[in-house]
């Protein structure tokens, strides 16, 4: 199938946004638009074209899981970010363009008492996508090494243990046929202030504002260090991290869409063969 | 808020499609387009306009559940139909137009052993939408009085008991603030044959075809009688049934969208008031 995914990109987002050896978050510009140099208004057309391709691939992925051959693959998009960075917009405008029947969305909030009584991966395991599905984690097991570290919710040696547990867990998933796309949406502190201020300025946005966001915001440098540690410890060849500059929402959406398209094209799902005899079924149906 | 919902309708779908006293399924024409007399190509524009309104109302509904006032409402769309009638298309094209973060989709397949060990409503109760959400049941507790009756999966007196249990259950939900929209998509046997044949004709549709569909198809009159019994016994003032003629997919989508819009407009969700002092927060934020 012809792919439109890189039509207007000057570099493959899976390369240019990937967290490799020596990656430094503090040298990554949230204003940049790596690999894409068209204007915002062009990006809208490109997003629509990408949505059509994503829809088509999602349907094939779903269909492939209904076949009788080997287990179909799945995709897991992990979204992490500081508040207001645009996770919701990605879910709405990128994920929301495909059939909701093919999407399993999991939003991980502050753990409940029951969840805290289990290992931190317990609630995560329960929500991994089934074969044929696109899973989306709105926050994830990474909270347990981000806010967990910044707020000292767990001792240092437990945080250390978790990095390894995460790498093992994700290896298990990718070995079983899940493509993991881990995305950090990267905004600047100033952009966050503007976005929070907008929520305060608009009564129809007040419900999105939480005074606690300002407290978290004061810990920005600590969070950036925790993200850097996450990248150093958990960006693996089978489940790499992508840092997506997100001061421009339109760029972040286009980039995440492209990363999802790449994951699906790697799976390359096919329509499953009929498990019945087509001619026989035509006759049976015609007789009714 | 101004509503566009009835802009091009000559009659309110909540009236003209509603199953009232004396309703007869066998006198309902699956080819008809009650209350809407524009052409297919006009319906596309109307569906887009309705999607925008639905999106806006969904966001308000979701936001209202984040407020500190009384519990917010929710919507539950129950979809029932013979195979190929278009449930999937409704989910894709109507439900799929709103933010997936505000939708809770539940597809009820053949019950598992665990589910069978419980009362038939057990698995249903586990999936009712939370406050602020739009829940969608792709098949539902009604299967237990449809295929349950047609295939004699339960004794007659148990089927009888279930009608009452369903009415009580739905009353409980609507009393708690859930608007229930029960839709049967109504196609003709001939239309079903054409749609099944198309699945056989197209290799990219083979995965949607199941030889068992032809067996169910042979029981069409029995199913229609079971649906009639469902309408007679469970179309209540608080949770009425709507029979939506569905030989024209574009009509069915527009009609279900309109029914959903009506349910949301009845709830009339509002942006919640701020639970914090806006001026104080502006100062706190500016200081960061």
pLDDT at B17: 98
Interface touch B105/A107, C-beta < 8 Å: no
- pLDDT number for residue B1: 41
> Which of A92, A99, A271 is facing B99, going by the closest CB pair?
A92
- Give start and end residues of each alpha helix (H) in A66-116: 87-93, 113-116
Instruction: Please tell me the predicted confidence (pLDDT) of residue A8.
Output: 87
DSSP A239: S
> What average pLDDT does the structure give for chain A?
95
Using the beta-carbon criterion (under 8 Å), do B271 and A96 form an inter-chain contact? no
B134's enclosing H/E stretch is strand B134-138
Measure A41 CA to nearest chain B CA, in Å: 21
Q: Are strands A178-186 and A241-245 parallel, antiparallel or unpaired?
A: parallel
Q: Name B62's bridge partners.
A: none
Is the dihedral angle over the CA atoms A219, A221, A226, A230 positive or is it negative? positive
Instruction: Tell me the mean pLDDT in the region A84-111.
Output: 96
Chain A neighbors of B272, CB-CB under 8 A: 206-207
CB contact under 8 A, B88 and A100: no
pLDDT band per the 50, 70, 90 thresholds, residue A66? confident
By CA distance, what is A200's nearest residue in B?
B278
Q: Where are the alpha helices (DSSP H) in chain A?
A: 13-16, 40-65, 87-93, 113-116, 122-125, 147-150, 156-175, 189-201, 212-217, 220-234, 249-267, 278-286
Whole-angstrom distance, CA of residue A107 vs CA of residue A139: 6
* A63: closest chain B residue by CA: B207
Instruction: Phi first, then psi: give them for residue B8, nearest 5 degrees.
Output: -115, 20
In this prediction, residue A72 has a pLDDT band, given cuts at 50, 70 and 90, of confident
The larger pLDDT score, comparing residue A273 to residue A251, is at A251
pLDDT of B233-288, one tens digit each? 999 999 999 999 999 999 999 999 999 999 999 999 989 989 999 999 999 999 99
> Above 80 in pLDDT, residue A170?
yes
pLDDT at residue A67 above 90? no
Q: B 177-196 residues with CB below 8 A of A?
A: 189, 193, 196
Q: What residue in B sits closest to A192 (Cα-Cα)?
A: B285
CB of A68 within 8 Å of any CB in chain B? no
Query: Given CB atoms, is A103 within the 8 Å cutoff of chain B?
Result: yes
**Residues B100, A100: C-beta atoms closer than 8 Å:** yes
- ipTM confidence score: 0.92
Residue A2 pLDDT > 50, yes or no? no
Query: Is the Cβ–Cβ distance between A91 and B101 less than 8 Å?
Result: yes
Find the mean pLDDT for residues A115-136: 97
A contacts of B107 (beta carbons < 8 Å): 101
Residue of A66, A105, A209 lying closest to B100 (CB–CB):
A105
pLDDT over 60 at A1, yes or no? no
Give the integer Cα–Cα distance in Å for A143 and A165. 14
Measured in angstroms, the CA of A233 and the nearest CA of chain B are apart by: 30
Question: Helices B249-267 and B40-64, interaxial angle, to 10°?
Answer: 30
Give the pLDDT confidence score for residue B68 in this predicted structure. 64
Asked if A271's CB is within 8 angstroms of B204's CB, the reply is yes
Count of alpha carbons within 13 Å of B226, Cβ hemisphere only?
Answer: 21
Q: What is the pLDDT of residue A124?
A: 98
Q: What confidence score (pLDDT) does residue A3 get?
A: 57
pLDDT in tens, B72-108: 899 999 999 999 999 999 999 999 999 999 999 999 9
User: Measured between CB atoms, which of B200, B218, B271 is closest to A281?
Assistant: B200
The answer on pLDDT for B6 being more than 80 is no
Mean pLDDT of the region B219-239:
98
Q: Is B92 on the interface with A (CB under 8 A)?
A: yes
How many of the other CB atoms lie within 10 Å of CB of B218? Answer: 11
Count of alpha carbons within 13 Å of A107, Cβ hemisphere only? 9
DSSP H or E stretch at residue A134: strand A134-138
Q: Does B204 touch chain A (CB under 8 A)?
A: yes
A-B contacts at Cβ under 8 angstroms? 112
- Interface contact A206-B288, CB threshold 8 A: no
Q: What end-to-end distance do the CA atoms of chain A give, in Å?
A: 37
The answer, yes or no, to whether residue B34 has pLDDT greater than 60, is: yes
pTM as predicted: 0.95
Q: pLDDT of A242-266, one tens digit each?
A: 999 999 999 999 999 999 999 999 9
A91: nearest CB among B100, B193, B206: B100
Confidence (pLDDT) at B70: 63
Residue of A214, A271, A273 with shortest CB distance to B284: A214
Of A206, A208, A271, the CB nearest to B206: A271
* Confidence at A69, pLDDT banded by 50, 70, 90: low
Give the one of A209, A217, A274 whose C-beta lies nearest to B206's C-beta: A274
More confident residue, A2 or B114: B114
């Amino acid at each position: 199938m012809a792919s439109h995914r890189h039509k207007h990109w000057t570099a493959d987002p899976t390369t240019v946004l990937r967290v490799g050896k020596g990656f430094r978050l503090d040298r990554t510009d949230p204003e940049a638009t790596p690999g894409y140099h068209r204007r915002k208004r062009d990006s809208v057309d490109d997003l629509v074209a990408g949505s059509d391709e994503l829809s088509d691939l999602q349907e094939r992925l779903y269909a492939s899981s209904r076949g009788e051959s080997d287990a179909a693959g799945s995709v897991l998009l992990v979204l992490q970010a500081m508040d207001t960075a645009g996770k919701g917009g990605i879910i709405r405008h990128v994920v929301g363009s495909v059939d909701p029947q093919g999407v399993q969305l999991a939003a991980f909030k502050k753990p409940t008492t029951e969840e805290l009584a289990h290992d931190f991966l317990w609630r995560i395991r329960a929500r991994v996508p089934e074969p044929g599905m696109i899973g989306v984690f709105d926050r994830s097991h990474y909270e347990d090494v981000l806010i967990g570290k910044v707020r000292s919710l767990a001792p240092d040696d437990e945080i250390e243990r978790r990095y390894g547990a995460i790498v093992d867990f994700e290896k298990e998933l990718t070995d079983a046929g899940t493509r993991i796309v881990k995305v950090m949406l990267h905004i600047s502190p100033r952009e966050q202030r503007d976005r929070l201020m907008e929520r305060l300025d608009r009564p129809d946005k007040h419900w999105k504002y939480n005074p606690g966001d300002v407290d978290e915001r004061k810990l920005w440098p600590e969070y950036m260090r925790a993200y850097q540690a996450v990248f150093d410890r958990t960006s693996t060849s089978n489940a790499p991290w992508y840092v997506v500059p997100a001061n421009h929402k339109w760029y972040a959406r286009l980039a995440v869409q492209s990363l999802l398209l790449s994951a699906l094209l790697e799976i390359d799902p096919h329509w499953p063969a009929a498990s019945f005899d087509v001619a026989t079924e035509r006759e049976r149906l015609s007789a009714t």
